[in-house]
Amino acid sequence: MQKDRILVVEPCILAIESSCDDTSAAVWRDGKLLSNVVASQLMHDETGGIVPEVASRAHQQVIIPVVKRALEDAQIRPQNLDAVAVTRGPGLMGSLVVGVAFAKTYAAGLDIPVIEVHHMEAHVLAHFATENKPEFPFLCLTVSGGHTQLLIVRGPFSYEEIGRTLDDAAGEAFDKSGKLLGLPYPAGPHIDRLAKEGSPKFEFSKQNIDGYDFSYSGLKTSILYFLQKEIRKNPDFVHENLTDLAASVQHAIVESLLIKVEAALVKTGLSQLALAGGVSANSGLRESAEKLTNRLGVKLYATPIKLATDNAGMIAAAASFAYAENRFAEDDLAPSARLAMRF
């Protein structure tokens, strides 16, 4: 579509993220993130999970004011924009449709190109929206509500997936375990908070997967059977041991992640580890990863919390690399709920 236009050296990009239940817009210019506005949907707490139709309608209601706020915070006028970037997938189809439709319409009105961004690539490249960024190549552990993968990152669009979840993602393991403990959705932050007050005194079954892949379906089953057994003996068991249970769940998930990470670092010889994705905000994971990298003499990069969870700032960072390579979307750009990464 716009592939023959003359590119500016340091573009001004408006980025849109709407893959799940956060509506976000950010502005990137001169290699820096000027604004990053996120509107989170709180109504899903009541249903214990995300209702796709509700999430889609919420995106429609707030996307215009969120974009307006991002432009105002960055002190950028629409006429100053060189491109609009948007998450194409993966994610909830209804949510993705809102973002993609808005981005295409907004860009068409300004006669500027659209840049499609893969949500998981953006999590990896979010590190480049900060001052403290890794150098290629590096090992990246990406952990979120829907994804868990281990990547060798050789360049902005050059990845080798050496490990992935075979069933549940780490974020799902936190949420499903939290539900068994009676915690609100999303349970991850609640488990993190409670774990700081407890100790990992309870043992749950460990994954037994060869290579660098992950599995969490067995963990939920192990926790379920353990709780059923203990509650039969003491109906108040969960209430009386909540902090220790939270610490034990967190320890089991974090340990299973870092066992694979350590093996991969030793095997590949890479000297940098990056943590990405919403679950990378977990304080237990960050502290344990720091201990591991210090022991191995590896440098650790963990994105700031505001860039770890879903946000348009990471979309903007990924889009800046795409812009430099003249990677613009075609007119028929459509969202893809199961969009695969390019390996």
Q: Which domains does the chain have, with CATH numbers?
A: 12-126+308-324 (3.30.420.40), 133-302 (3.30.420.40)
pTM above 0.85, yes or no: yes
Tokens 């509700």 belong to residue? 54
Report the distance separating Cα 213 and Cα 332, nearest Å. 35
Average pLDDT over all residues of the chain: 94
Token digits for 18?
């709407």
pLDDT band of 43, cuts 50, 70, 90:
low
Helix%, strand%, coil% for the chain, nearest 5: 45, 20, 35
Report the distance separating Cα 202 and Cα 175, nearest Å. 18
CA distances from 255 to 7, 14, 187, 283, 289 (A): 46, 38, 18, 13, 10
Report the distance separating Cα 319 and Cα 88, nearest Å. 12
| CB of 16 closer than 8 Å to CB of 315 | yes
What lies within 8 Å, CB to CB, of 205 at 6+ separation is: 218, 219, 221, 222
pLDDT tens string 44-74: 455 566 788 899 999 999 999 999 999 999 9
Query: Tell me, what DSSP letter sits at residue 21?
Result: S
Report the distance separating Cα 64 and Cα 73, nearest Å. 14
Instruction: Check pLDDT > 90 for residue 1.
Output: no
Report the distance separating Cα 50 and Cα 86, nearest Å. 21
Report the distance separating Cα 56 and Cα 23, nearest Å. 10
Q: Is 281 helix (H, G, I), strand (E, B) or coil?
A: helix
